[in-house]
Amino acid sequence: EADIYQTPRYLVIGTGKKITLECSQTMGHDKMYWYQQDPGMELHLIHYSYGVNSTEKGDLSSESTVSRIRTEHFPLTLESARPSHTSQYLCASSAGPFTEAFFGQGTRLTVV
């Protein structure tokens, strides 16, 4: 089983609130990713990181931001949540660009 963890698993919040989704891995992987997935749809890359102090935007435009201060930690923040942010957010990590990616359990976010 992969050593990558996301918290919380489920989150229901009101519009305008600031939230941070946590993601941690204990495998020492340099590369980490955030994906967004709506029901029945494919995963879309919203952020990625090559290593500490490296963050890049992905293919899908997102109002969220990320940081990578430590290798094992890659949190995602929404400054002001809106109902359009309702989705499942999946964090992943890999040792290299062409190696297996390990996924966390996901955070199901609902903004009301």
Contact residues toward another protein (CB under 8 A) are 2, 6, 31, 40-45, 48, 50, 88, 90, 92, 94, 96-98, 100-106, 108
Which CB atom, from 81 or from 90, has the smaller least distance to another protein?
A: 90
CA 58 to chain CA centroid, Å, is: 11
Distance, in Å, from the CA atom of 11 to the CA atom of 25, rounded to the nearest integer, reads 21
Nearer to another protein, 41 or 79 (CB): 41
Q: Decide if 28 contacts 81 (C-beta within 8 A).
A: no
Q: How far is the CB of 58 from another protein (least distance, A)?
A: 9
Q: Which is nearer to another protein, 41 or 52 (CB)?
A: 41
Q: Is residue 33 helix, strand or coil? A: strand
